[in-house]
Amino acid sequence: MAITYTTSASAVFTESFTLDLYAGTEGSDTNWLDGNAGGSYPGSLTGFLASNSDGNAVGGAKLVCGQFTIALADDETVTLTGDATRVLAVIVGDNSTESAAVTLKNITDGVAQFTVTGTSDALVTCWMIVA
């Protein structure tokens, strides 16, 4: 499965590449401590049976680089689904004239919202850290 990007208005986000960030899980996520309490282990070490095959494993963060290939509208949102459902951070760069700018307005779970001042050009670069 891949990450799916859905915009709320005219923009189209095209992913250039995604890198897995293997530094671990977020500090608030403690599912890795649960292990596989219902399993068995030679020597009766039932207190610690860590497993990543029981569905409780949490995927690590990813660094996504892409471009908006069609200009953004003001208050436009990008919603993530699939392998990533949360936006943790965004860096956006607008290559348009001085009278127009694209900035991050808000992040809520898997939705990033942007403010556009003036008229945005296409090919606005966007880097996101997602999970």
Summarize pLDDT for 8-38 with one digit per residue, the tens.
Answer: 998 899 999 999 887 655 555 555 555 545 5
Kindly state whether residues 12 and 73 are assigned to the same domain. yes
- Global pTM exceeds 0.85: no
Question: Do 114 and 69 share a domain, yes or no?
Answer: yes
CB 45 within 8 A of CB 38: no
Structural domain count of the chain = 2
Residue 61: which of 108, 23, 28 has the closest Cα?
23
- pLDDT score recorded for residue 115: 87
Q: Do residue 112 and residue 126 come from a single domain?
A: yes
Cβ–Cβ under 8 Å, residues 82 and 116: no
What integer pLDDT is reported at residue 61 of this predicted model? 87
Quote the pLDDT of residue 20. Answer: 86
Model pLDDT, residue 14: 93
- Residue 108 class from Cβ within 10 Å (0-12 exposed, 13-18 middle, 19+ buried)? exposed
State pLDDT tens for residues 46-95: 555 555 565 555 667 899 999 988 888 889 999 999 988 889 999 987 66
**67 in the same domain as 51:** no
Give yes or no: residues 43 and 65 share one domain.
Answer: no
pLDDT of residue 108: 87
- pLDDT score, position 124: 85
- Residue 7 domain boundaries: 3-24+60-130
Using one digit for the tens of pLDDT, what is the confidence trace for 97-124?
555 678 889 998 889 999 888 777 778 8
Angle subtended at Cα 99 by Cα 74 and Cα 128, rounded to the nearest 5 degrees: 50
* pLDDT of residue 45 exceeding 70: no
Identify whether residues 51 and 109 lie together within a single domain.
no
The band of 131, judged by pLDDT with boundaries at 50, 70 and 90, is confident
